[in-house]
A and B are shown apart, each in its own frame.
Chain A
Amino acid sequence: MSDKQYTVHVCQGTGCVSGGSEKVFYSLKNEIEDSAFDHIHVKRTGCHGFCQQGPLIVIEPVGIDSQREGIFYTKVKTDDVSDIIQSILPKGKPLVRLLYKDPATDKPIPHYRDIPFYNKQERTILKHCGNIDPEDINEYLAVGGYKALRKAIFEMTPEGVISAVKSSGLRGLGGAGFPTGRKWEACRKAQGDGKYVICNADEGDPGAFQDRSVMEGNPHSVIEGMIIAAYAIGAGKGFIYVRAEYPLAVSRLKIAIEQARQEGLLGDNILDSDFSFDIEIFQGAGAFVCGESTALVRSIEGKRGMPKAMPRPRTTEEGLWNKPTLLNNVKTFANIPLIISNGSEWFSKRGTEKSKGTAVFSLTGKVVNCGLIEVPMGATLRKIIFDIGGGIPGGKALKAVQTGGPSGGCLPANMIDMPVDFDSLTKAGSIMGSGGMVVMDEDTCMVDVARYFLDFTQRESCGQCIPCRLGTVQMFKILDDITKGNGRPGDIDLLLELSEAIKRSSICGLGKTAPNPVLTTLRYFRDEYEAHIHEKRCPAGVCIGGKEIS
């Protein structure tokens, strides 16, 4: 790290970059380099999470000066650069105009640690996103990076690593929640050489960006997790499958992989051991269905990304190029170094009985504080939306929360005290999903939301199986008619019948879960459908001559 007295962290996540943080970063750097302020160090960091307030800057003193510890500036522009530098000089004072203001009291809160959005979270996966430079491996090493890899290779057997992951209780954070250790064990035991490890970074759910932020903010944590996985299952080659819509994540990962190779952490004879493993980046080409494991594998093989029909061998038995393949999500891999370093017990202390550890959510929609958050599994929706999210803007009432993207569902406001974990969400008709959480207020029409998701799935259906290809289109047409005021009596029954058929007979997860947004809105908001169909009225004022819809 730096021996200078102050470090100015400039967030360079995609959200802040879109607000001009790159210009702020270079302008600060130039101004400091041109002057004699050699006690100030400017640092590029990944996503801080509070994207809505961006571009963000955090100023940390390296010495002891609690008055100035973690000063948090929001919506910074290049015009503010000189004043920011002045504020760090000996007689400088924090710039009140750039401080975060409590939306309830309008009082400025100078310190990062006092802002409710941050201090009500528990950040473990995200701990270093926002305070290390993602383009400098030394910063990751300085916070203990790659120690877990050393420990795994030199102090643990592959079976020992798998057993640690198993006893941690970690479940796949890509959405389905399959126990990670069991998957690793299956892949370790699978016959055949030339095994693969693949990181699924095809974060396709609209409304979710947590995987992107982890890759942009702490790419080495993902890479280290993958290397440990490869050691555990006996793989020699890995891929990170990233969506093409994430150019910044791709470029940060490329830099990180190259630096890891130079440090002897990737490639032949890692850390002079006899274990060899390397990683390649594969960019997805814009197909939501490629988040499904067999479709993703086919895509890397240079084929159309269409899932394999059941029954089929598991990917752990027969995956990429028919070799045993371990596929895990970005956040699942990012948890691995933490579990190996701190122990399984440390990990399983957080969470509920069956969902251990933390969950990372992209909190968006009609909520005061939008951004990236991390809470222990089992935190309530109330804590997430009101304590961290600051509630609903404009004095409006909460109507629903959507989790799990197009495969998930909408939960009504009266379920606000429900704990958020894999099993509770599934029981309520939604899913954990990869971590999108979209808050909806009284101005959101639930029929329009259902229509929106079916529009998405019918576009993204790969077209291979009939229930999904034709069924989702029919559902979309019915919903479209209802929102245009052309709904007919019997439409609700027809939607239920189609949902049942599509769920039962589609070959992959995309089809099997596609009706969920319709089923949950019918379960909890049936009256809104009825108002549209029988009274030709949209209670939220969105459809039928309300606000214009596309």
Chain B
Amino acid sequence: MEEELLEEILGSYRGDRGELVPILQEVQDNLGYLPEKIMLDIAKFIGVPESHVYSVASFYAQFRLLPLGRKRVAVCRGTACHIRGAPQILNTVEKTIGLKEGETSDDMEYTLETVACIGCCALAPCIRINKDVSGEMTPERAKEVLLSKDDGGQDVG
């Protein structure tokens, strides 16, 4: 299934070197992460060493080499969030879902990440679950948002 999907994605690219990042982004958008086998195929398609694809995939914070949980929780670490209590929010989130930054729960329900800045600074502190941003967090509200059934899957566009 993954192979078919890759073929479909690669169908709209020419195989130029400059297409590497967009291809990795599109694959990750569809699969949630970058499986090793897929990266090898992408290297062949573009005609670069496999190590080059890995070096790019591991350089950028956006790319994941492991599958993610259904709810991707990102706590914003931006400056405005920091001085308005982001460390306490991160702490609450860690305790509520029992994960540390970068970890995914065994049941694949949650992944906990931090993000440098969501750009919602006027509503600091913020967290993002999948694509939904929630602002003006308190530890209590963060708990509520985390445990709500809404999976935040809707695209903000």
Contact = CB atoms under 8 A, between A and B. Distances in A.
Interface of A: 14-15, 17-19, 22, 50-52, 54, 203-209, 212, 244-248, 251, 282-288, 299-306, 321, 362-366, 370-372, 402, 405, 436, 438, 440, 444, 449, 452-453, 456, 460, 462, 547-550
Nearest to A216: B119
B151 interface: no
Nearest to A463: B59
Contacts of A204: 116-117
A374 B51 CA distance: 46
B78 A207 contact: yes
27 contacts: A15-B123, A51-B123, A206-B81, A206-B117, A209-B117, A209-B120, A209-B122, A245-B116, A245-B117, A245-B119, A282-B22, A284-B60, A284-B62, A285-B63, A286-B63, A287-B59, A287-B60, A302-B21, A303-B56, A304-B55, A305-B60, A364-B79, A364-B121, A364-B124, A365-B124, A547-B88, A548-B87
B56 A304 contact: yes
B146 interface: no
Contacts, number: 164
A526 B82 CA distance: 21
A437 B5 CA distance: 44
B79 A436 contact: yes
Interface of B: 16-22, 24-25, 46, 48, 55-56, 59-63, 77-84, 87-88, 90-91, 115-124, 126, 131-135, 155-157
Given A304-B56, A305-B60, A14 B78 contact: no
Given A203-B119, A283-B25, A286-B62, A247 B155 contact: yes
B83 A456 contact: no
A274 B60 CA distance: 40
B15 to A, nearest CB: 11
Nearest to B20: A302
Contacts of A302: 16-21, 46, 48, 56
Contacts of B157: 247-248, 251
Q: Which residue among B81, B88, B135 has the maximum number of chain A CB atoms within 10 Å of its CB?
A: B135
B122 A19 contact: no
A133 B80 CA distance: 29
Given A286-B62, A548-B88, A549-B87, A438 B123 contact: no
A302 B131 CA distance: 26
A36 to B, nearest CB: 31
Given A440-B83, A452-B79, A362 B122 contact: yes
A207 B123 contact: no
B84, B116, B118: most-surrounded residue (chain A CB, <10 A): B116
Contacts of A282: 21-22
Contact of B135 (A18, A205, A246, A456): A18
A549 B120 CA distance: 22
A465 to B, nearest CB: 15
B83 A365 contact: yes
A460 B87 contact: no
B150 to A, nearest CB: 12
Given A245-B115, A283-B22, A14 B79 contact: no
Given A51-B122, A52-B122, A364-B122, 4 more contacts: A14-B119, A207-B121, A302-B17, A302-B19
B87 A550 contact: yes
A419 B86 CA distance: 31
A362 to B, nearest CB: 6
Given A285-B60, A299-B21, A304-B56, A365 B116 contact: no
What 9 pairs across the A-B complex have the smallest Cβ distances? A207-B79, A286-B61, A285-B60, A51-B122, A302-B20, A364-B80, A370-B122, A206-B117, A206-B78
B79 A366 contact: no
Nearest to B94: A550
B61 A287 contact: yes
